[in-house]
Amino acid sequence: MRRRKFLKKSGLSTAGLLSAPVLASCNTKSNATVAQTTSSSTKPIVICTWNFMNASAKAWEVLENEGSALDAVETGVKVEEADINNQTVGIGGRPDREGRVTLDACIMDKDANCGAVLCMENIAHPISVARKVMEETPHVMLAGLGAELFAYEQGFEKTNLLTEQSKKEWEEWKKTSKYETIINIENHDTIGMLAIDANGDIAGGCTTSGMGYKMAGRVGDSPIIGAGLFVDNEIGGATATGVGEEVVRTVGSFLIVELMRQGKSPQEACEEGVKRIMKKNEGRKDFQIGFIAVNKKGETGGYCVHPGFTYREYSENGHENKAVESFYQGG
């Protein structure tokens, strides 16, 4: 039975209403046994952190034309990397304390191949360099100048990533140099994207300029496989946005995929992921984290620390910006 309720083109609904039932096919022989279905019945779907309508639409175009999940996530997140108005991804991203824009990204495919770039300057599309690391090198991660030089070798052009707007704001920030994480106010707009293609294969990508005015050399969760992104083609995928230090501490995305492996739905797994983080941060309210996940059936879920986080979902049923429930109810 197909429900058409996703068709509200830019409507907002609560994830609770739409969340999927717990996976039922869990084999009881062992905890580690997989709760999954065969992929043949799974329909293409893409989800991404936040309300990135254009990025998810672009990824959906790839899926609709029977492109791979890997191509879909790369093509999709590049939309945000290219958007100078998005000050947390790619060109236009906020710089570090020294005024340098340094980018982090990673990508992972159905065969657990993965690639990442960390703290890379002057290249507009870190997700594509991450893919090149995955496909053209024996390594998973390249950082800093090494990543940048590799990108030039691969034909990427040198680009000034610091826009006038970001430069102006940074100069203003320098007057007080106060480093605070701001909950949901433009500080967390990393794009993490997960897609399932017509073959039922899953891939994911995550890309960011990191925390605004971070210490030089700081790297968060976004380019760290297992933290900012993880995909297991037998189970599903997860990705994160928010204060990366907290996501790294729990290896958040890997944790969520493992929880799905144990039989939790994407929704339940995301909730448990956030709760693990909050257990280590009792009483702390000064940071935001949002997780999203998809399982092999194409069921999705999301959860966050503070209200405000949403994720966009695109499938043959249309597209929708989904509000998610949060650990704190506000205040």
Where do contacts with ligand SD4 occur on this chain (CB under 6 A)?
88, 188-190, 208, 210-211, 220-222, 241-244
In the complex with ligand SD4, which residue's Cβ is closer, 167 or 249?
249
Query: Residue 69: enclosing H or E segment and its boundaries?
Result: helix 69-82
In the complex with ligand SD4, which residue's Cβ is closer, 46 or 191?
191
Least separation in angstroms between residue 68's CB and ligand SD4 is 26
Residue-wise over 131-147: b if at least 16 C-beta within 10 A, else e?
bbbbeeeeebbbbeeeb
The answer to whether 250 is annotated as binding is no
Least separation in angstroms between residue 325's CB and ligand SD4 is 19
Least separation in angstroms between residue 102's CB and ligand SD4 is 10
In the complex with ligand SD4, which residue's Cβ is closer, 62 or 243?
243
The answer to whether 77 is annotated as binding is no
Give the CA distances from residue 208 to residues 90, 94, 177, 330, in Å, rounded to whole numbers and listed in that order. 6, 10, 22, 26
Instruction: Choose the catalytic residue: 190, 207, 208, 300.
Output: 190
Query: Residue 104: enclosing H or E segment and its boundaries?
Result: strand 103-108
Residue 184 φ then ψ, to 5°: 60, 10
Tokens of 140: 């998973």
Instruction: Tell me if residue 207 is catalytic.
Output: no
Question: Looking at the chain, how many residues does it have?
Answer: 331
Token pair 């905890």 is at which residue? 31
The answer to whether 318 is annotated as binding is no
Least separation in angstroms between residue 221's CB and ligand SD4 is 5
In the complex with ligand SD4, which residue's Cβ is closer, 36 or 222?
222
Q: How far apart are the first and last CA of the chain?
A: 40
Indicate the SS3 state at residue 200: coil
Q: Binding site for substrate: what residues are annotated?
A: 218-221, 241-244
Return the active site residues.
190
